[in-house]
Structure 1
Amino acid sequence: MEANTTHIIPPPVFDGEEYDLWVARMTTHLEALDLWELIEEDYAVWPLPENPTVAQLKNHKESKTRKAKARACLFSSISKIIFTRIMNLNSVKDIWDYLKSEYQGSEQTKGMKALNLAREFEMQSMKETKTIKSYADKLLSIANKVRLLSKDFSDERIVQKILVIVHEKYESKISSSEESKDLSNITLGELVNALQAQEQRRMMRHEEAVQGVFHIKAQNSRGGKDKKNNKWKKKKPAESSNKQQNDTFSPCPHCKNQTTLKKMLVEA
């Protein structure tokens, strides 16, 4: 029974950039569809003989269908501009070889690409805003591009780059790693995980310190409001007392009684 391949996601469309990356993904894609042998060694589909058998008819149809599937797969994985260059090529192998000669280039060209990538690798520096993970991912991405050109690029070289360029704030962790394990044998994953753990602890301490500052500011702000309210409460009774005194006449010289202005006006 033919395998169900409807769940296989096609590779991204090749637009002329990062050919080696596209080849790696396309190779796996064709192998999953059982079509890679058409790239390695194409075969011819011979005409059917007179009065073919059922088996001959079946094999002939399957051979034509597989070649059509492989061709359609390549056509659907390239941009429109590139398609116009290879649409007249009938053989799947001819299409593959054309793309290889056009975009991969000679060994000399591959060597120059690898050299430029090596220079880019050496120029990478870790900025204060970058995390250990993002910096390591950038270095690994460049290394993988070199590897796609069939050039050797070891993880040890990435480890050495990180150890040399890493910030001073990680030196304590590197020193402790030297005491517990030989750094010449540490893997890239172990180094990144160790430095990332220290980075996360520093971030947590920084967040706690920031929260503490905000808490102190909030307390000071509430304390200032309380002082202002207490001052207003003390001032308000005095003002009320002064107002009451202003509304009261001095004692009468004859009866010695204090009569409010309001009462005198009512009696008058």
Structure 2
Amino acid sequence: MPIFDGENYEYWSLQMKTLFISQDLWDLVEDGYEELEKTSTGKATPESQQTLKENKKRDAKALFLIQQGISKNLFPRLLSATTSKNAWEILKIEFQGSQKVISIKLQSLWREFDNLLMKENESIQVFFTKVSGIVNQIRSYGDTILDKKIVEKTLRSLPPKFDHVVAAIEESKDLAAFSLHELIGSLEAHEKRINRSTDHSLEQAFQSKLDSKEKEDKQKGESQKSPKQKK
């Protein structure tokens, strides 16, 4: 059970949403439930009464999960919440903000996404962790971002050493059907080849420098010998 302590609400809410979906409770948390429908006689039907009873039971379970998912310091905020929807909205408004605040945060996140570039000495794994972090926050605030857009952005953000693999991917792949996992796998495989080539070049350069040093030391030793020793 993820515990929310007032930090990283977006990640906690995403984990909780997954939990609610797995328990078939998300509809209640998101939309709540309706009270009894009454007939023309003013009485509720047995079916309506049974449905309400089941919804209340499921809602109590969802509310309990929310209560269990927050720290003791935050629990007093939910003392007045009688439904899971009410409790969820209390936390959402306080820690995610109003719609206006969310809109401002989304603008900032989209700008960060558009300006993101991979550094020359940065690994694919580290860079993609940054991309994923921004994308997950954008999605947690309710905006849609397709994998195709993420793939295209990633390819545009790579340093020159990836140019030929980017060209190969763009020419041979349908980017709309190219998954992020496939992209990362291809880029990491290319990165390993680059690293092996770089390591080999460095090893050759080091060996060449070592050979030159040995040759220089040998020549220096020869020059320091006396004429008698040289004979």
Q: How many Å apart are 1:33 and its aligned residue?
A: 7.2
Q: How many Å apart are 1:190 and its aligned residue?
A: 2.8
CA contact (8 A) 1:132 1:196 kept: yes
In the alignment, structure 1 residue 14 sits paired with structure 2 residue 25: no
In the alignment, structure 1 residue 116 sits paired with structure 2 residue 108: yes
In the alignment, structure 1 residue 141 sits paired with structure 2 residue 124: no
- CA separation of 1:202 and 1:81: change in aligned 2, threshold 3 A: same
Which residue of the other structure, out of 198, 203, 206, is the alignment partner of 1:206?
198
Where does residue 142 of structure 2 map in the other structure?
150
Structure 2 unaligned spans of 5+: 36-55
Which residue of the other structure, out of 158, 165, 168, is the alignment partner of 2:160?
168
Q: How many Å apart are 1:177 and its aligned residue?
A: 2.8
**Which amino acid is 1:196 matched to?**
E
How far, CA to CA, are the matches of 2:175 and 2:66 in structure 1? 46
What secondary structure sits across from 1:113 in the alignment? helix
Q: How many Å apart are 1:228 and its aligned residue?
A: 6.0
In the alignment, structure 1 residue 83 sits paired with structure 2 residue 81: no
Q: How many Å apart are 1:216 and its aligned residue?
A: 2.3
In the superposition, the TM-score normalised over structure 2's length comes to 0.68
Where does residue 87 of structure 2 map in the other structure?
95
Spell out, residue by residue over 1:71-94, the C-alpha distance to the aligned partner (whole angstroms, 9 max, x if none). Answer: 665444323442333346566554
- CA separation of 1:187 and 1:88: change in aligned 2, threshold 3 A: closer
Where does residue 15 of structure 2 map in the other structure?
25
How far, CA to CA, are the matches of 1:164 and 1:121 in structure 2? 12
Q: How many Å apart are 1:162 and its aligned residue?
A: 2.2
Cα root mean square deviation, aligned: 3.8
Percent same amino acid at aligned positions? Answer: 32
CA contact (8 A) 1:41 1:93 kept: no
- Which structure has the greater CA radius of gyration? 1
**Which amino acid is 1:218 matched to?**
L
Spell out, residue by residue over 1:107-154, the C-alpha distance to the aligned partner (whole angstroms, 9 max, x if none). Answer: 443333222211111121221121233223322221121112222111
Which residue of the other structure, out of 169, 172, 177, is the alignment partner of 1:180?
172
CA contact (8 A) 2:28 2:84 kept: yes
CA contact (8 A) 1:42 1:91 kept: no
How far, CA to CA, are the matches of 2:76 and 2:169 in structure 1? 57
CA contact (8 A) 1:75 1:83 kept: yes
Q: How many Å apart are 1:206 and its aligned residue?
A: 0.8
Larger RCO (alpha carbons 8 Å, 6+ apart): 2
In the superposition, the TM-score normalised over structure 1's length comes to 0.60
- Choose 22-31 or 199-208, whichever is displaced more: 22-31
